[in-house]
Amino acid sequence: MPDVGRCLVMGVVNVTPDSFSDGGQWFDPAIAVRHGLELVEQGADIVDVGGESTRPGAARVSLEEELARVEPVIRELSREGVTVSVDTMRAEVAQAAVEAGAKLVNDVSGGLADPAMPRIVAASGVPYVVMHWRGHSHAMDSRAVYGDVVTEVREELAKRVASVLAEGVAENQIVLDPGLGFSKNAEHNWKLIAGVDQLGELGYPLIIGASRKRFLGRLLADPDGAPRPFSQSDDATLAVTTLAAQAGAWCVRVHDVRPNADAVRVVAAVQGARS
C-alpha cells in the first residue's frame, strides 16, 4: 500500500445497478474504469471496486455475476497502474481479483460470510480489511442492538482478528473497520466515530467508511424530518474524514474524492506543524 505519511483516501467504484448512493452510475465496465481513473486524478490513493451492493435489504448477486462485474474493471485499472482493492465477501472473487491485479481485499463481512476467505487472503499476502459485521443486508438492521457499541464492536473485531490469524493471515496484513451503517443506527455510528482512538488501541490500521450513508442524511434532515439526499451529504462526509484523519485513521473510504483528498492533506499539514 502507498505509504504517504498521512491518512489514505480510498475512492469507491461500485459496479452495481443498485448500490447505496451510486448504484447504476458505473455499471458499464468502460465507464467504471474511466471513473476509477478520474478518482485517482482527484487524489485517491486506492480505488475500491465492488460488484455486490451491501445497502440494507439488498439481495445477493451470484458468484458469476459478481466476477463478471469486477474482474475486467480491476484488470484494466491495475494495468493502468492504479492501486486497486476489491470489495467482496467471496473468496473466489477475492482470488480472481488478486490475480487480476488487486492489491487489497476489502471484506465487509470480516471473513464471516465465506469461511474460505481468510485462507485465500493469507495465501495472497495482500492487506485484508476486516470489517465489523453482524449479518447480510436483509438481516443487518434488526441486529443493530448494543449496550456499549464501541466496546462491543471492539470485542467482536478482536475475535475476528484472532480467527483470521488462526487461519494464517499475518498480523501485518490486517486492517480493521468499524463498519458504519452495518447493523448500526445513527447513534451507534456517531459513537463509533467518537471512539476511533479506542478502536485504534487494538493495534491495527483503521479504515472509516461514512461516505453518503443514511445517518448523515438523517442528521441533515429538513425541518419536516425528510432526510437530506445522499448526493447532498458530501460536505458532512468531509467533516467525518477530517475527524477520522485527526484521530489517526489509516484510510477513509469515500465517493467524492477531491475534497476528502484535500482534507487529509490539511490534517497532515497541521499534524506536521505540531511535531
213 is catalytic: yes
Contact 199, 248 (CB under 8 A): no
253 is catalytic: yes
Is 14 a binding residue for ligand PMM by CB under 6 A? The answer is yes
CB of 100 to ligand PMM, least distance (A): 19
Which segment (17-25, 29-37, 115-123, 197-205) binds ligand PMM by CB under 6 A? Answer: 17-25
CB of 110 to ligand PMM, least distance (A): 9
Task: Give the DSSP letter string of 142-165.
Answer: GG---SSHHHHHHHHHHHHHHHHH
Q: Which residue carries 439481495 as its cell?
A: 59
Show the beta-strand stretches assigned E in 30-79. Answer: 46-50
For ligand PMM (CB under 6 A), the number of binding residues is 19
Contact 26, 35 (CB under 8 A): yes
> Considering beta carbons, is residue 31 or 271 the nearer one to ligand PMM?
31
Site for ligand PMM in 23-52 (CB under 6 A): none
Q: Residue 164 has which C-alpha cell?
A: 483470521
Site for ligand PMM in 54-113 (CB under 6 A): 54-55, 87, 106, 108
Task: Give the DSSP letter string of 70-97.
Answer: HHHHHHHHHHTT--EEEE-S-HHHHHHH
The whole-angstrom separation of Cα 104 and Cα 108 is 13
CB of 64 to ligand PMM, least distance (A): 21
Q: Which parts of 88-229 fold into alpha helices (H)?
A: 91-99, 117-124, 149-166, 186-194, 196-200, 214-219
Pick the binder of ligand PMM from 6, 9, 21, 127 (CB under 6 A): 21
Pick the binder of ligand PMM from 15, 91, 98, 129 (CB under 6 A): 129
Is 12 a binding residue for ligand PMM by CB under 6 A? The answer is yes
Q: Which positions lie near ligand PMM, rule CB under 6 A?
A: 12, 14, 19-21, 54-55, 87, 106, 108, 129, 131, 177, 179-180, 207, 209, 212, 253
The residues annotated with a catalytic role in the active site are 213, 253
